[in-house]
Amino acid sequence: MHCHDFLVTSLNKQLIVFKNMKIAIQNILAIIILLIVFNSNRVNAQFWTENFTVVNTVVGGNANGYNGANGVWTVTSLPGDSGLYANMFYISCQEAGMQINNCGAICAPVPPPPPSPYIGQSLHISSDANLTGDNGALYIETGSGNLSNTEVRAQSPTINCNNKTDIVLTFNYIENGESTNDNADVWYFDGSTWSFLFDMDKTLCGDGTGGPCNEMLCDGTNQGFWTASPSISLPVSADNNPNVKFGFRWINNDDGDATDPSLAITNIQLNGNNSTGLLINASNDRVLIYPNPSENNTTLEINSAINETVFVFLYNSLGQVISEEKIKLMAGRNQKEIATQKLGSGFYSIKIVGTEFNAVKQFIKK
């Protein structure tokens, strides 16, 4: 081989190697871009928040009818709300909404929001309007029979969770009260049914009024200590659901032992993953669960428009997957027995995912 031919062949080989390397690099970059786009679609991000910074125009600061940035809050009376002077939910500056690690205080009326660490108003439990009225997160028990027996739930506006999955609720809060006799917890609404969601821990109190302070045991005279809630996962039925609500319930019995503070809430946030868009919403009326409530196993009935294979997921009330099963559907009516006999009592969800289905049904196990 001549030297010239050898050089040409060598250069051609190098060019081929270079081109192959270039193609490989381009392919790698394309994969990276796809991964970035996919992950950006799945990122867990805040999509709903409430800080109660809109001035409450309802007389007395009553939380029932408060029209905030996201719509109207409501308060519903529950079976234990039997007292003539039952405590009430308010939204006002009588209890400032604060960043965590700060003592409770009164805030200036909003808007604009007061400077940090103040956030704005708070949702809180205080005395009946016919007694002392709104004194911030401070509740009253008369100790005279059942005059202040209370069970009320403050309920958020309807929240559109379309295109959102794996939804998590967080908030800043103060809570005290006499053990479980005077207590607050979180509830969830899927568009048709309210169900218990989470009982948050009591918080400590602080050694000051407003601003940063140190934690200490509550003695009935100290201000509350603003604390971050844990991340509370909404049930899977919230995924892609346009009719979600959550609520804060307060209950106390009139035994004369009112261990202040009561309850205050602010900085409420919902975070969720963006839906990939691969699932098509199906009407839940083509899926039946019976018996409901169930004592033994549960029958799942699916009316399918096509022949297809679907995945059936069983979730507990914390949104954790208990079981997963793949079943084949024929066009028309299909029945499948779900093994629920050994489950403990409580609320459960069944999710069906397929080409046509993205349906969720809840049931109660006795």
Q: What is the CATH number of the domain that holds 308?
A: 2.60.40.3080
What pLDDT shows up at residue 23? 42
Q: Is the pLDDT of residue 125 over 80?
A: yes
Tens of pLDDT, residues 100-123: 999 999 999 998 878 999 999 999
Q: Do 242 and 323 share a domain, yes or no?
A: no
Residue 22 is assigned to a structural domain of this protein: no
Domain, as residue range, for 323: 284-365
Using the 3D structure, point to which of 243, 274, 305 is the last residue of a domain: 274
pLDDT for residue 37 is more than 50: no
Domain with 77 in it: what CATH number? Answer: 2.60.120.200
Question: CB 214: neighbour CB atoms within 10 A?
Answer: 12
pLDDT for res 283: 55
pLDDT (tens digit, 9 = 90+) per residue, 131-149?
A: 999 999 999 999 988 999 9
Lowest mean pLDDT among 70-79, 185-194, 322-331: 322-331
Give me the half-sphere count of Cα atoms (radius 13 Å) on the Cβ side of residue 167: 28
* Residue 152 confidence (pLDDT) above 50: yes
- Confirm if 140 and 132 have CB atoms less than 8 A apart: yes
Last residue of a domain, one of 220, 239, 274: 274
Pair (183, 245) in one structural domain: yes
pLDDT at 114: 81
Query: Is 26 a member of any domain?
Result: no
pLDDT at residue 6, as a whole number: 44
pLDDT, residue 243, reads 93
pLDDT score recorded for residue 170 = 97
| pLDDT at residue 130 tops 90 | yes
- How is residue 141 written in tokens? 């028990």
Chain segment 182-217, per-residue pLDDT in tens: 999 999 999 999 999 999 999 999 999 999 999 999
Note the pLDDT tens digit of each residue in 271-302.
998 864 433 344 566 888 888 888 888 888 88
Q: How does pLDDT run across 12-35, given as a tens digit for each residue?
A: 555 444 444 544 444 444 334 334
Distance of alpha carbon 301 from alpha carbon 294, whole angstroms: 15
Q: How many domains would you assign to the chain?
A: 2
Q: Are 228 and 170 in the same domain? A: yes
* 2 lies in some domain: no
Task: Judge whether residue 250 has pLDDT over 90.
Answer: yes
